[in-house]
Structure formats: C-alpha cells, structure tokens
Amino acid sequence: MRTANRPPAFWLFPVGLGMALGLSAVPGEWPLYVILAVSTAILGLPHGSLDSAVAKRHLPLNGRLQMLGFYVGYLALGGMVLAFWWQAPNVALVAFLLYSAFHFADDIAVRIGQLGGTAYGLWVLSLPVGLHPEQVTPLFEMLGATQAAQLVAVAPYTLALSGAVLAVCLILRPQRATSDWRDPLLLAFGAMLLHPLAYFIAYWCFLHSPRHLELAARDLGLYGWRERLKAIAPITLATYALALGALPFLIDLPSETALMRIVFIGLAVLTVPHMVLELIASPRRTP
C-alpha cells in the first residue's frame, strides 16, 4: 500500500494505547475477551472488507460470472487455511504469525524497505510473546497449539533480531516518517505494561486496521464516510454471518476459547486471500 511521509492514523494509535492501558486496569481477563471480539468486529475487520472493490478496480473482472469466480476463489483460499489449521494447528499457528509479520510490514515498508518492514512486523508480534510468555502460552493453547511452550521460547530471539534489523533500517533510511520510529517505541512501552490481548487491540484496531483502511479507501477514491460504509458493509456483514455460523461447532468449548478461535483463526482465514489479492493488485496501482 502506498502512503505519504506522514501516514494515516498518526495520532489514533497513541490514543488507542492509552485506552488499552485503561482497559488493562479492569479486573479479570473475561472483559478482555469480550472487548477483543467487539473491537475486532467493529474496528479490525472492515480494513479487509474493501477487497471486492479492490478486485473490481484492479483485476480484469468483467461481469457477474467473473466476480462470482473471484468470490469462490477467495472463499476457497480461506477454507484451505481453516482445513490446514484443523489438521496441523502448530504449523498453522507458526505460518499465521509469519505471514502476519509480512502483512504488518505494509505499515512502514514503503518508507524503510521490505526488509525493515518485515523486521517491524516481527517486532510487533514478538514483543508480547517475548515479554509475557506465561500469558501468551495459554492463549496459543486455546488456538489448538500442542507445542505452545516451544513456540513461545523462540520469541526472545526473534525480538532481538527484528529489533536490531529495524533499528539499522530506520537509521539508514532518511525518508522515514516520525511514526516509523515512534510507533515501535510505543509498541515496546505498551507491550511491557499491557496484557497481550490489550496490546493486540491497541495495535490491530487503532494502528494497522485504520491505516490500511484509509489507504485502501483513498486508492479507490472513497473519501466520505457514507460511501466507505456502503463499500465495506456487504463483506463485513457476510463475515459476521460466517462467524455466527461457526458458533455451533464451538459450543462445547469454554466461552473464552471459542472467542479466541473465532477471532484469531478467523483472521488467519481472512488474511491469506487478502494478502494474495494485495500481491496481485499492488503492481497494478498507479504511482
């Protein structure tokens, strides 16, 4: 995604971080699970809900039949991710973390390069795992991982490596924006103080998602909130319906585990076709 020197949502992330700090003061973990689900549904999901509009703009799709083929392919990719997670949750979780890091690179890669962007993505993901392994391990287990402790044990190494690479790339790139060094520092501050779920809410819902949504909407020429809501509504509502449809299959699980799986496995399912579309559409965007 393209961006200006000062990217969108410049001040929104510090505000979200402050709200997450207040959220962490609420006793017990159950409110975190509820707020995670609600905030992801309202603030997190819509940034991928412009995918059908992106496909119409940048892919050679003529007529309803070809659009139907796009939707079938999109859902098929997501279904493959879900089936793979069902069969091999440990590998699927590792893959999800890795391709999420590559996807989060879009936040800053246009200014500091793909290597620096990927280091940034790994930094985002490694911080809560490396700083709070005792809290992240049960969260990974809720997602079906049977080797959560081994996965968590790698985080200090990825945290050190990504931090070093990111620092070098920031130093070497004079076109960096203020937020490119400010946000990693705020993320580190937040990760130290916040529960990992509150940290995720702050990053996902107040930095990555609104920034990505704003850039995608500008690319599509959608500047008013009414036309943006009209554009994201169909896929967002369809996603809500699919999430509700998954509930009967999770009814025997503890409620917090069911919410975790709906949110994070759901995001894994949606991220793969979203990234594939971005890889195809990005070279076709005019500079």
Give the annotated binding-site residues for Fe cation: 47, 103, 208, 212
Specify the 3-state DSSP secondary structure of 160.
Answer: helix
- Which tokens go with 168? 């070098």
Beta-carbon contacts of 181 under 8 Å, excluding residues fewer than 6 positions away, are 170
The answer to whether the beta carbons of residues 78 and 273 sit under 8 Å apart is yes
Question: Which residues fall in the annotated binding site?
Answer: 47, 103, 208, 212
C-alpha 187/C-alpha 25 separation (Å) is 18
Write out the two tokens for 5. Answer: 């020197």
Residue in the structure block whose two tokens are 């999430």: 243
What per-residue string of b and e applies to 225-241 under the rule 16 or more CB within 10 Å gives b?
eeebeebbeebbeebee
Ordered DSSP codes for 208-229? IHHHHHHHHHHHTT--SHHHHH
Please answer whether residues 39 and 205 qualify as being in contact, where contact means their C-beta atoms are separated by less than 8 angstroms. Answer: yes
Compute the C-alpha angle 139/144/145, nearest 5°: 75
Contact 59, 70 (CB under 8 A): yes
| Other Cβ atoms within 10 Å of 205 Cβ, number | 26
User: Under a CB-based contact definition with an 8 Å cutoff, are residues 206 and 9 in contact?
Assistant: yes
Q: CA-based angle 265:29:135, to the nearest 5?
A: 70
Q: Which residue has the tokens 């500008």?
A: 218
